[in-house]
């Protein structure tokens, strides 16, 4: 954070009042100005893409959530910038946002709200955003409770249910194990125990029922309903102006949904 305003406020306070109290008051006013300017600059950043600044700030916060940032997490941020095709200005915004997000005092709730505003009511935009953040959450393997707490806070803000988040994790090969861990992931939808365990993919891919966000005892009608709902939200024709990297993620998820549905149909023998 730039403290130029704070310094000027202190100097002005001393010059006007010639005492310590004046310096403190001037410094406080200057600090408020600096903080307001920084917030304004960050909120102007979305004009470069609507999502770059809050997204990379959140990625920085997730990476730092367990106390340290690993080389794997930095590499993921770098790859994401490359895949998004960011120009130099946008890359600078992304790097600055990532560095801001990793600060101890950073409030992830603010950028989550910015992402919520950018996504709006477009659930087809919400899932690719969450998918990007999941990459950082899983950078070091089995996700920590601290990282999952931020991820689930984001999912809740974007109106993505706990079951839908579990489906997204299942696409990465991670399955929920009620006996794993034992610490809460927090948030309004927080579980009181258990955790995600490392990739559980079989030779055929992830659990198709988990991908569709349904239980194995769901009847055929319920399976068809879940499939139609998911594919309508992730169909490539509905993605609009979604950034190219996120579009590819959405298309990949649509393919996973179709593959999961076909596996279940073959298993159950219905059309």
Highest mean pLDDT among 9-13, 103-107, 229-233: 103-107
The structural domains of the chain, with segments of one domain joined by +, span 4-41, 49-191+205-268
**143 close to 199: Cβ distance less than 8 angstroms:** no
The C-alpha atoms of residue 227 and residue 219 are separated, in whole angstroms, by 12
pLDDT at 151: 93
More confident residue, 79 or 238: 79
What value does the mean pLDDT take over residues 202-228?
81
Q: Report the range of poorest mean pLDDT among 92-96, 104-108, 177-181.
A: 177-181
pLDDT at 268: 86
In this predicted model, what pLDDT tens digit does every residue of 150-161 receive, in sequence order?
999 999 999 988
Confidence of residue 40 (pLDDT cuts 50, 70, 90): very low
Confidence of residue 133 (pLDDT cuts 50, 70, 90): very high
pLDDT of residue 187 exceeding 70, the answer is no
Tokens 């930095």: give the residue: 74
pLDDT of residue 172 exceeding 80, the answer is no
Classified as helix, coil or strand, 177 is: strand
pLDDT of residue 126 exceeding 50, the answer is yes
The C-alpha atoms of residue 130 and residue 56 are separated, in whole angstroms, by 12
Percentage of the chain lying above the pLDDT 70 cut = 72
DSSP element (H, E) containing 195: strand 195-197
pLDDT of residue 210 exceeding 60, the answer is yes
**5 close to 28: Cβ distance less than 8 angstroms:** no
């Amino acid at each position: 954070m730039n403290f130029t305003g704070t310094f000027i406020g202190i100097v002005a306070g001393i010059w006007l009042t010639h005492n310590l109290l004046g310096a403190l008051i001037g410094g406080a006013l200057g600090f408020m100005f600096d903080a307001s300017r920084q917030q304004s600059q960050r909120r102007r950043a979305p004009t470069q893409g609507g999502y770059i600044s809050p997204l990379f700030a959140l990625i920085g916060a997730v990476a730092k959530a367990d106390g340290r940032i690993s080389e794997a997490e930095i590499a993921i941020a770098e790859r994401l910038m490359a895949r998004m095709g960011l120009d130099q200005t946008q890359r600078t915004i992304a790097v600055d946002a990532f560095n801001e997000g990793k600060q101890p005092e950073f409030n992830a709730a603010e950028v989550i709200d910015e992402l919520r505003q950018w996504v709006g009511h477009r659930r087809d935009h919400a899932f690719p955003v969450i998918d990007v953040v999941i990459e950082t959450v899983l950078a070091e393997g089995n996700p920590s409770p601290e990282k999952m707490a931020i991820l689930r806070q984001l999912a809740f803000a974007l109106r993505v249910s706990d079951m839908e988040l579990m489906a997204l994790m299942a696409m990465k090969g991670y399955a929920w194990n009620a006996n794993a861990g034992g610490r809460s992931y927090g948030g309004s939808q927080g579980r009181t125990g258990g955790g995600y365990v490392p990739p559980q993919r079989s030779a055929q891919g992830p659990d198709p029922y988990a991908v569709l966000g349904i239980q194995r005892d769901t009847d055929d009608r319920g399976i068809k309903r879940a499939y139609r709902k998911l594919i309508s939200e992730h169909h490539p024709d509905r993605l609009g102006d979604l950034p190219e990297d996120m579009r590819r993620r959405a298309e990949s998820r649509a393919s996973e949904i179709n593959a999961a549905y076909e596996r279940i149909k073959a298993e159950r023998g219905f059309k």
